[in-house]
Amino acid sequence: MKKLIGISLFFLLAVTGAFAHAGHLHTYMGSVTMLDGDNAFMMKTTDGKDLTVATSKSTSWLRADNRAAKQSELTVGARVVVKMSTDGKTAASVKMAAPPATK
């Protein structure tokens, strides 16, 4: 009897579960057009679209040579490669090049 109850209980619990779908990891390339505090910046992607990129404490900031960078180093005009996190809402990493030299 106990075995039967145990098996039934396992079956009952084992086949129930929530459905979840994995997201897609998008990469965007472009140039920074506006800084918006610590939590976001705007960029124009290489295909001409304006994009607002949300950042968080878990966002990694890197230079083009993969050395660590600080968010404060991001400037308008800098080229960036942004890899989005799996939630598709915040940036997982932002790799930045130096902004173009001004005359």
Partner 1 sequence: MKRRSLIAAGVLIVLIAAGMIILVSTLRYGFSAHDEPTRIEIVIARTMRHWASPADLRDRSNPVPLTPPVLEEARAHFADHCATCHGNDGKGRAGMGMAMYPRTPDLTRAETQALSDGELFSIIENGVRLTGMPGFGDGTAGSAAGSWTLVHFIRHLPKITPEETAAMEKLNPKSPEEWKEMHQEESFLAGGEQTATTSSAQESQTHQHH
Positions that interact with partner 1 (CB under 8 A): 1, 4-5, 8-30, 45-47, 60-62, 64, 66-68, 79, 81, 83, 85-86, 93, 95-97, 100
* CB closer to partner 1, 21 vs 37: 21
* CB closer to partner 1, 40 vs 79: 79
* CB closer to partner 1, 39 vs 86: 86
Counting Cβ atoms within 10 Å, is residue 43 exposed (0-12), middle (13-18) or buried (19+)? buried
For the bound state, the minimum distance from the C-beta of residue 74 to partner 1, rounded and expressed in Å, comes to 13
For the bound state, the minimum distance from the C-beta of residue 4 to partner 1, rounded and expressed in Å, comes to 6
Question: Around Cβ 7, how many Cβ atoms within 10 Å?
Answer: 10
Question: Over the range 47-82, which residues count as b (16 or more CB within 10 Å of their CB) and which as e?
Answer: eeeeeebebeeebebeeeeeeebeeeebeeebbbeb
For the bound state, the minimum distance from the C-beta of residue 96 to partner 1, rounded and expressed in Å, comes to 8
State the DSSP code for 72.
G
End-to-end CA distance of the chain: 86
* CB closer to partner 1, 25 vs 34: 25
